[in-house]
Amino acid sequence: MSGGVDSSTAAGLLKESGYEVIGATMRIWKERDGGKSPYRCCGVADVEDARRVAQQLGIPFYVLNLEEEFEKEVIQYFCEEYGKGRTPNPCILCNSKVKFGSFLEKALALETEFFSTGHYARIVLDEESGRYLLKKGLDLGKDQSYVLFSLSQSQFRHTVFPLGEHRKEEVRRKALQLGLRVHDKPESQEICFIKEDSYHPFLSERLKEAIKPGPILDQKGNVLGSHKGIPFYTIGQRRGLGLAAGKPLYVVEIDPERNAVIVGEEHEVCRDTFIVDSVNWIACQQMISCFSARVKIRYSHPGSEAVLFPAGDDRVEVKFKSPQKGITPGQAAVFYDGETVIGGGWIKEVINAK
């Protein structure tokens, strides 16, 4: 229970359905500075919101310390990836390693049978294969299946998503009907552990001397200007380059070996083929031969038709039928068959440009 409307309503729906419900919140910050969280959300106020909701629902409530796990699995990963010139998605690692990892283990230690969150997604057991399938939430505008692609079959086995069959407006109405004070609480859209509007100060503090200025190059290697450090740039970025080229330029590549940012025109940001590694298969046990799927390359990407080819152990080559803008190393690529997640992995490298 994060203290928001989604997880609070999920708890209410489960109780109405006849489950014996226990509420729990992750504490991911150190008890310092008067116990205040240094993060944008998941702070003391959010914990108290969750506690009050649990009291309203008449369910037990626990606060579980996951500070070390969050620091190691999420924050360190976030900083290291930016330091390598990649663009990470910390929410995915938080889900697989912390929420459905350490947090789930602690929940099962309380002798619970199932673990539930307020995610908008669905889990269905396929009777023929015996595998748990991950499907998009009914509310496609809120669907969160993309950030859940890395979960395992054992994690799905213990998971329930009460909001998967509901739309957001229905959830807020239900929260109001239940009398939950968080029914109109705004959603948190940013990275939870970044207080500022920009992640640059956070990285500057964490990476310090590892951040070094370097050249901004065009595709031919000509120096056009200088950058403030590769962790501050991402593929497809246009603003903040500080270049006076007389035409819009975009980041098309980040080269950590040369400590260089390479820029080009908009059409040069569009690519069609890339390698995905650390693939996690959900709908099948392994990839046997090439197949077609709709592939999302970031949370906000609508997905596009592609062909997938085996490229070694836990690796896939993805070729879009039409070039896509901003294929970014470090982001997740998730493969869909209609509303079902086939699997997904991490974008390793782009291997050809149009």
- Burial pattern 224-253, b for ≥16 Cβ within 10 A else e, equals beebbbbbbbbbbbeeebebeeeeebbbbb
CA distance 43 to 26: 10
Helix axes of 5-16 and 44-57: crossing angle, nearest 10 degrees: 20
- Locus of tokens 């782009």: 350
Residue type, 324: Q
194 is written with which tokens? 């970044």
d(CA 337, CA 286): 15
Chain center to CA of 126: 25
In angstroms, rounded to a whole number, what is the distance separating the alpha carbons of residues 331 and 344?
11
Catalytic (active-site) positions = 94, 192
Strand residues in the chain grouped as ranges (E): 23-27, 61-65, 115-116, 121-125, 132-136, 159-160, 214-217, 223-227, 250-255, 260-264, 270-281, 291-296, 304-310, 316-325, 332-337, 340-353
